[in-house]
């Protein structure tokens, strides 16, 4: 039997980083088993639809390099892959359960339900549906259903136990007495998640259900539905949640959570995938830098952690640095293309890559690192003055550096280095004491890429002009 797994986002918002981790695990499982990955859109909550959701799922996963085999746009033999286009299917199946006596029509109003809940709360009882409509004669209920608004509820047995052998948690079981008569079909004709997942996973021949742990609690309801239909329950794996720093499910109030945001912040997709895979999984060896292909080869569902893992941007950034240095210079130049202002000369950018690459964790850092090559700098006098020297001494030193650089027959970083070393020697200054004012004069800041290379990149003309301007500032 070929493996078929799915990821089933509900299009209620942009692609979330926590969903990506679950999708990634599904992807890895499918790939390493030569199976298929299916994208199914669970848009059964019509009130919460967000038009940005779909594009962000496609763009985000494409950016990350995670591909799938069947879905709304790519089609496939089990379509449609959007639940709102499968309504008749759910209706038929719900009807079948009613006909079999495993489900029933419920006509209770929102008001009655609210009131019931309030009363139960006041009495400190369990808040759950009182099965009021379960007592209605089936024939009468069917008749009413033809004209009155209604939902379909699952008839949960009063007693008994259901259990699964979860791939990550092991055996988990529930007393049916603690489960309420779940709504399966809503009054607007849409199914609830609980009906739709079961029907679709079965019809789409999904062989393994890998999803977030937030779904673990609804497993008994699903088992009951499978049972009522006489279907087999596929193996399930409830993977741990990605948590915020406070230990609660990662959400927007913890900061960036949308894939789009990380992309905009300049994170490398390789780093995101690598980092994310390691929240909730470890190979058991001391390796930790993994490409998507490495992960396909090494990830194992049995090694997935039970406990949730906290999101750690610092660690993500560290992986960013690692991957930054693994990218070829040409590739890095391509990645930078969309990040840097279009007017910045790409040949200059390309030339600067060797010196900025190991200083970057995210692409956007390149902007600050090489801005001095494209925009004028106007350093203030206090910043220019060398350590333990006066403004005048610094000015004089800069003047000597200026003429030394001006006299150079060739203007490569090696020559620049020789010249500045000679000046420092003459002056009797420590190299760093001379280089700092030169750096500030030429780049405008105290930190940046190596000085000699920076000066070479800038070119003689502009370097000398900036040095002269710094002298003026110091003289002034």
Please list every residue from 305 through 334 that binds RNA, using CB under 7 A: 305-310, 312, 314-315, 317-318, 321-322, 325
- Which string of x and - marks every residue 443-472 that binds RNA (by CB under 7 A)? ---xxxxxxxx-------------------
Residue 214 Cβ vs RNA, minimum distance, rounded to whole Å: 4
- Alpha carbons within 13 A on the beta-carbon side of 434: 22
Whole-angstrom distance, CA of residue 467 vs CA of residue 443: 10
Determine, following the binding rule CB under 7 A, whether residue 266 of this chain makes contact with RNA.
no
Determine, following the binding rule CB under 7 A, whether residue 109 of this chain makes contact with RNA.
yes
Residue 274 Cβ vs RNA, minimum distance, rounded to whole Å: 11
Whole-angstrom distance, CA of residue 348 vs CA of residue 340: 12
Residue range at the interface with RNA (CB under 7 A); choices 134-142, 213-221, 255-263, 391-399? 213-221
- Rank residues 297 and 475 by Cβ distance to RNA and give the closer one: 297
Residue 95 Cβ vs RNA, minimum distance, rounded to whole Å: 16
- Rank residues 157 and 475 by Cβ distance to RNA and give the closer one: 157
Residue 308 Cβ vs RNA, minimum distance, rounded to whole Å: 6
Determine, following the binding rule CB under 7 A, whether residue 432 of this chain makes contact with RNA.
yes
Determine, following the binding rule CB under 7 A, whether residue 375 of this chain makes contact with RNA.
no
Please list every residue from 43 through 62 that binds RNA, using CB under 7 A: 44-45, 48
Determine, following the binding rule CB under 7 A, whether residue 243 of this chain makes contact with RNA.
yes
- Rank residues 186 and 400 by Cβ distance to RNA and give the closer one: 186
Residue 382 Cβ vs RNA, minimum distance, rounded to whole Å: 16
Sequence-distant (6+) residues with CB within 8 A of 122 are none
- C-beta separation of 104 from 134 below 8 A: yes
Residue 473 Cβ vs RNA, minimum distance, rounded to whole Å: 20
- Which string of x and - marks every residue 128-147 that binds RNA (by CB under 7 A)? xx------------------
Determine, following the binding rule CB under 7 A, whether residue 429 of this chain makes contact with RNA.
no
- Which string of x and - marks every residue 8-27 that binds RNA (by CB under 7 A)? xxx-x---------------
- Phi, psi of 106, deg, nearest 5: -130, 130
- Rank residues 60 and 308 by Cβ distance to RNA and give the closer one: 308
Residue 133 Cβ vs RNA, minimum distance, rounded to whole Å: 10
- Which residues form the catalytic set? 252
Residue range at the interface with RNA (CB under 7 A); choices 174-182, 225-233, 253-261, 346-354? 174-182
Determine, following the binding rule CB under 7 A, whether residue 28 of this chain makes contact with RNA.
no
Among 3, 142, 282, 327, binds RNA (CB under 7 A): 282
């Amino acid at each position: 039997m070929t493996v078929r797994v799915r990821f089933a986002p509900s299009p209620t918002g942009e692609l979330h980083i926590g969903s990506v981790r679950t999708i990634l695990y599904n992807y890895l499982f499918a790939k390493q088993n030569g199976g298929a990955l299916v994208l199914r859109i669970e848009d059964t909550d019509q009130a919460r639809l967000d038009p940005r959701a779909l594009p962000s799922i496609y763009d985000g996963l494409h950016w990350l390099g995670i591909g799938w085999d069947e879905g709304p746009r790519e089609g496939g033999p089990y379509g449609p892959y959007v639940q709102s286009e499968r309504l008749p299917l759910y209706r038929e199946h719900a009807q079948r359960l009613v006909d079999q006596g495993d489900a029933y029509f419920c006509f209770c109003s929102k008001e009655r339900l609210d009131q019931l809940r309030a009363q139960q709360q006041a009495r400190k009882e369990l808040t759950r549906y009182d099965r009021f409509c379960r007592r209605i004669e089936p024939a009468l209920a069917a008749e009413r259903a033809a004209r009155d608004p209604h939902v379909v509820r699952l008839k949960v047995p009063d007693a008994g136990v259901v259990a699964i052998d979860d791939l990550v948690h092991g055996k988990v079981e529930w007393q049916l007495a603690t489960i309420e008569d779940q709504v399966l079909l809503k009054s607007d004709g849409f199914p609830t998640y609980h009906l739709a997942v079961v029907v679709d996973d079965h019809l789409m021949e999904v062989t393994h259900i890998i999803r977030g742990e937030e779904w673990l609690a609804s497993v008994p309801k699903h088992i009951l539905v499978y049972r009522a239909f006489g279907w087999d329950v596929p193996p399930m794996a409830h993977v741990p949640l990605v948590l915020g720093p406070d230990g609660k499910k990662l959400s927007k109030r913890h900061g960036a959570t949308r894939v789009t945001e990380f992309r905009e912040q300049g994170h490398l997709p390789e780093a995101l995938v690598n980092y994310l895979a390691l929240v909730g999984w470890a190979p058991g060896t001391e390796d930790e830098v993994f490409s998507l292909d490495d992960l396909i080869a090494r990830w194992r569902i049995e090694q997935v952690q039970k406990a949730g893992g906290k999101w750690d941007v610092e660690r993500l950034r560290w992986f960013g640095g690692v991957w930054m240095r693994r990218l070829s210079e040409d590739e890095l130049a391509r990645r930078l293309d969309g990040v840097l202002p279009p007017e910045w000369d790409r040949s200059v950018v390309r030339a600067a890559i060797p010196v900025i690459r190991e200083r970057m964790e995210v692409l956007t850092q390149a902007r600050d690192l090489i801005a001095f090559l494209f925009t004028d700098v106007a350093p203030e006098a206090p910043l220019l003055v060398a350590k333990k020297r006066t403004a005048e001494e610094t000015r004089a030193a800069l003047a000597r550096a200026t003429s030394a650089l001006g006299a150079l027959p060739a203007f490569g970083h090696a020559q620049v280095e020789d010249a500045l070393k000679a000046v420092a020697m003459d002056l009797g200054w420590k190299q760093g004491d001379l280089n700092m004012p030169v750096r500030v004069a030429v780049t405008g800041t105290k930190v940046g890429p190596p000085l000699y290379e920076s000066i070479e990149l800038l070119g003689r003309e502009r370097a000398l002009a900036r040095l002269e301007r710094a002298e003026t500032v110091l003289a002034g």
